[in-house]
Structure 1
Amino acid sequence: MVVVGSTNPAKLEPVRRVFAEVFPGLEVRGVEVPSGVRAQPIGYHETLQGALNRARAALAQPGAAWGLGLEAGVEFNGQGSWLFNIAVILRADGRWGLARGGSVLLPPRVGERLRRGEELGPIMDDLVGKKDTKKGSGAVGILTLSRIERMEFWRHTLELALPPFLRPELYPLEGVAYLFPDT
């Protein structure tokens, strides 16, 4: 069974689609688990830690053979505020995959609120006058006029985390404990 450390449909549906294509027949289930980081992770390392914490908690669920952690983060640099995402895939046999997805530049007024400690989802809700946009098109869908929806954003990141499972001969298990030593 594949367990995702989230019950958000915008995260679960891409996992269901990708795994149905690549590893047909596996049940995919979402569970609510803590990320162990801020509601809005800031920076690569905090976002990676949140994804890893979710993947580990998902893999620890009864019957789980795969654990997935999907976490969206925000970075700040000289050009502004950026939204990006990270997927961590852990398998019970010790094999793992990791990917950082694309990035989108956020509007300056969104970045200002993020710097004050607000979470991106509610900021985007306010911006467009809707509720729970993070369970649908998300910030990326809103900003691209739905040319790229949040589910597609996640799908690409999941696909990029798959090579260690698709080409295991190129990703030996030996010597990889440095990244995820407790896995």
Structure 2
Amino acid sequence: MTVLVGSLNPGKVQPVRDVFAVLFPELEVSGAAVPSGVRDQPVGVGETRRGAVNRARRAARLPGATWGVGLEGGVRVERGRGWLFGVVAAARAGDGLLLTARTAELPVPEAALPRVLAGEELGGVMDELLGTHDLKRGAGTVGALTGGLVTRSAVWAQALALALAPALHPGFYPSVHAARTNVR
């Protein structure tokens, strides 16, 4: 029985491994290369959610999957300011249960926002601005800008744990379980 994360990025696979090790320790977690179906840097809540859901559902369809998990980082713009956030989606193979949650948000640096809106990925922009390398596979922008107090891994883990609450307590969420559709 396996949890397949719709990414090979260790900065996404490890927080899923950490959460499932506590909640469902019998499941192994590994990454799988699946497309998000959205831009490399999604903009807006809708596009970011679509990317996470696509990754989760595609991973759940792979042989041996018990769960598929998608983590998608996005930027939303409100009143000229940018906000970095993520969406986590968990799709249970077989019965179609789909659970989602959003992460906390971080203001996008003003120098980065125009470049992101022009199509560049935030991780690469931040690497250039901070003089770092491959930030998105490590502490992430959130880790770099909070002095390590909040890490990318911790933000993903928190959102995944929140998303999985209805799976842990189905009696408290009957409408979530009634709305299932088959992912196969």
TM-score by length of 2: 0.93
Task: Name the SS of the counterpart of 1:37 in structure 2.
Answer: coil
* TM-superposed deviation, 1:131: 1.5
Which residue of 141, 153, 156 maps to 1:154?
A: 156
* TM-superposed deviation, 1:170: 1.8
* Alpha-carbon distance in structure 1 between the residues aligned to 2:171 and 2:80: 40
Q: Letter of the aligned partner of 2:73 in structure 1?
A: A
The answer for the alignment partner of 1:88 in structure 2 is 89
The answer for the alignment partner of 2:141 in structure 1 is 139
CA deviations on 1:17-44 (whole Å, 9 max, x unpaired) are: 1100011121101011110000000001
Which residue of 128, 151, 159 maps to 1:126?
A: 128
* TM-superposed deviation, 1:182: 5.9
What runs of 5+ residues in structure 1 fail to find an aligned partner? Answer: none
Task: Name the SS of the counterpart of 2:106 in structure 1.
Answer: strand
Which residue of 105, 110, 113 maps to 2:112?
A: 110
- Compared CA separation, residues 182 and 110, structure 1 to 2 (3 A): farther
RMSD between superposed Cα atoms in Å: 1.2
The answer for the alignment partner of 1:97 in structure 2 is 99
Give the conservation status (yes or no) of the 8 Å contact 1:95–1:164.
no
What runs of 5+ residues in structure 2 fail to find an aligned partner? Answer: none
Identity %: 48
Verify: 1:13 aligned to 2:43, yes or no: no
CA deviations on 1:65-122 (whole Å, 9 max, x unpaired) are: 1010110010011151000000000112222211011100011101121122211010
Q: Letter of the aligned partner of 2:56 in structure 1?
A: A
CA deviations on 1:139-181 (whole Å, 9 max, x unpaired) are: 101110111111011111111101111111122222x25xxx5
Q: Letter of the aligned partner of 2:142 in structure 1?
A: V
